[in-house]
């Protein structure tokens, strides 16, 4: 029997959701942080979407958010010219790092001791969280605002994407650009998969996959609409992408064929990420919501329950929420 995807809508934000990130798998499950233009990033339980808390303190739109692997620390990048580090268990603000312009991206190293920031002042900064008063290491080179900055190659190198239509690979120690990729259009998103050293880049309608060490192109796929974000499944059998047409697309990574597309959001999709166990993916949209989607539609996981037809009509069935049937256009 064919099952239709039921996305779980996480409400709470009052403005567009522009970034989201998952933690690793911890003894308490995995977690999800969302960055929103309302200035109030939120932490949620990753498999259910249940709200855990809101990080209060920023005075402007939050453009980037991240969690460390253990989900004990969070970092956010905001339009108030600061990046903040938070205790992700208590919700308390731990550190405020002043910048000279809007901060767009934050990323922890694997051991959570350093934080990488990048933003509209075009400079990458590395902060030692053990010595927060010390001046950060600065890496300059981009000629336009930095959109995304990520650690890669065991935290020895840095990948950055900027509005100057380049993606650059930097060596952390020499602070030099090792490689540069130039594009015809602005890069809308970047994802780094350490296991397999794959870099997922989106620009225009293209979702491209690169080797993160050599920056050699592995493959590229064109979507029906302009794509803002894409994510590769941990087992590298699927990838998902979303953008201007409000739809989420699911592709087979090996064959590059479009498998499914899902409607649901009421605005362009700004970010999409697979969970660390690959069982679901989360999307954030201009409509102010996050939605969770199943990778294997119909499987019992999180709040989704696989129900056999006999159970639906049985008198003893537990109370289940069955979404009303929507007629697809």
Partner 1 sequence: MTFILEIKRSSGLRFRRVLNETPVSVLRLPRGPEPNSRGFDPTSPRFIALCPTTLPSSSSSSGSADEEEQRLRAELRERFLRTLLLMTGKRVRFDMHEHVRVHARFGASDIDVLNLQVCDLETPLGVQREALLRSQDVIACSFEV
Which residue ranges make up the site for partner 1 (CB under 8 A)? 1-6, 8-12, 28, 42-44, 48-56, 72-73, 87-91, 94, 113, 129-130, 292, 294, 297-298, 303-307, 309, 312, 320-323, 325, 327-328
Smallest gap from Cβ 67 to partner 1, in A, equals: 13
Q: Which residues pair with 160 in a beta bridge?
A: 149, 168
Residue (28 or 194) nearer to partner 1, CB: 28
Backbone phi, psi, residue 312, to 5°: -60, -35
Could you tell me the CA-to-CA distances from 101 to 107, 117, 234 in Å, in that order?
18, 12, 34
Beta-carbon contacts of 273 under 8 Å, excluding residues fewer than 6 positions away, are 20, 21, 22, 191, 229, 231, 281, 282
Are the C-beta atoms of residues 259 and 238 closer than 8 Å to each other? yes
For partner 1, the closer CB: 40 or 228: 40
State whether residue 109 is helix, strand or coil: coil
Q: Which is nearer to partner 1, 156 or 300 (CB)?
A: 300
Q: Which DSSP string do the residues of 211-265 spell out, in sequence order? A: ETTT--EEEEEE-SS-EEEEEE-TTSSEEEEEETTS-EEEEETTT--EEEEE---
Q: Which is nearer to partner 1, 248 or 292 (CB)?
A: 292
Quote the least distance from Cβ 122 to partner 1, whole Å.
31
Residue number, 211 or 300, with CB nearest to partner 1: 300
Question: Least distance (Å) from partner 1 to the CB of residue 44?
Answer: 7
CB of 136 to partner 1, least distance (A): 18
Q: How far is the CB of 166 from partner 1 (least distance, A)?
A: 35
DSSP for residue 37: T
Give ∠ CA 171-276-222 in degrees, rounded to 5: 75
Structure tokens at 98: 């002043």
Choose between 168 and 291: whose C-beta lies nearer to partner 1.
Answer: 291
User: From the CB of 256, what's the least distance to partner 1, in Å?
Assistant: 24
């Amino acid at each position: 029997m064919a099952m239709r995807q039921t996305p779980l809508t996480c409400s709470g934000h009052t403005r567009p959701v522009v970034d989201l990130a998952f933690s690793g798998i911890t003894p308490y499950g995995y977690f999800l942080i969302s960055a929103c233009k309302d200035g109030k990033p939120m932490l949620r339980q990753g498999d259910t979407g249940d709200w855990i808390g809101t990080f209060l303190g920023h005075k402007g739109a939050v453009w980037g958010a991240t969690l460390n692997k253990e989900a004990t620390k969070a970092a956010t990048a905001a339009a108030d010219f600061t990046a903040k580090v938070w205790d992700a268990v208590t919700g308390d603000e731990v550190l405020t790092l002043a910048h000279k312009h809007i901060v767009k991206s934050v990323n922890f190293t694997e051991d959570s001791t350093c934080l990488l920031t990048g933003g509209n002042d075009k400079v990458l900064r590395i902060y030692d969280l053990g010595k927060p008063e010390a001046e950060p290491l600065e890496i300059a080179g981009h000629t336009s605002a930095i959109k995304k900055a990520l650690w890669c190659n065991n935290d020895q190198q840095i990948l950055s994407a900027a509005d100057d239509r380049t993606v650059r690979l930097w060596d952390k120690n020499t602070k030099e650009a090792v490689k540069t990729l130039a594009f015809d259009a602005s890069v809308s998103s970047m994802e780094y998969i350490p296991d397999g050293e794959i870099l997922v880049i989106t620009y225009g309608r293209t979702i491209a996959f690169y080797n993160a060490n050599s920056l050699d192109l592995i493959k590229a796929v064109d979507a029906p609409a302009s794509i803002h974000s894409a994510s590769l499944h941990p087992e590298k059998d699927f990838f998902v992408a979303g953008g201007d047409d409000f739809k989420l697309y699911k592709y087979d990574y090996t064959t590059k064929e479009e498998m499914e597309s899902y409607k649901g959001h009421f605005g362009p999709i700004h970010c999409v990420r697979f969970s660390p166990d690959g069982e679901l993916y989360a999307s954030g949209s201009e409509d102010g919501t996050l939605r969770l989607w199943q990778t294997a539609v119909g499987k019992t996981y999180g709040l989704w329950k696989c129900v056999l037809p006999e159970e639906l009509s049985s008198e003893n069935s537990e109370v289940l929420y069955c979404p009303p049937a929507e007629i697809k256009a």
